[in-house]
Structure 1
């Protein structure tokens, strides 16, 4: 009889464990459904065009204007209205800055900044800095340039 009672208690423990798991997943589903509903309402707000017509006294318009791709344009810190835009930087642009003499990525970035013909803003320098590594990787993969060293000692030069 003790085997039957131990089997009964094992089954009861399994049922208790299953109910706890069921309660966990039900609460998880509720949280996820609430999050999904919030995202839907945010998406609806972004895609709804602004109302046209006269504004009431004291009502202001949104400072966010739609960008070319439909995303809200974010104000950038450190940009100047007098600074020209960055030129396109395809791989040929970066290839023209790489010489036969091995140079680090920082040195290539400095020569890119110098070749602009104007003083870039900190945001523009950051953008150039972000464009450099993928361009160098692309040039390395196409075997137009070579590299030596690793990490801080890595130098790039024409093949």
Structure 2
């Protein structure tokens, strides 16, 4: 055989192999979709049974806004966060920062107390925060977590114009008061 025929044979065999793999994939996909459809149909019949029972009850007139219907529990559906571990909007468990780190909450007021009229670096403010909370060198994990809170807190205070800053990068200094400290 000529080299052209051999390469054509290999190309056709490769294409045939690829087509067989695709057929196997789609047959498995068809089975999965059929299973999902039967599950949905069984849920649908459960819902219509519930609706029939509700339709038999006499309707009561209510004044005011209509509320949302409660969600039906469907087998296989993931449940929301349980009652005892309710999650906040950002996906964290309430109070997780204080439980995990052992640090108290450090809101804007906490950081605002540490910023003075004299320009200070973020490192100086972080060290002052550690001293204010009584964290020693043996508590490296808590000090590290506290230092991770410094930059976002200072950025928030600057953006809300509660404090000012001068410089850029590591040379940036934070202070209260007027802009006479710009360097």
- Rg larger in 1 or in 2? 2
| TM-score w.r.t. length of structure 1 | 0.47
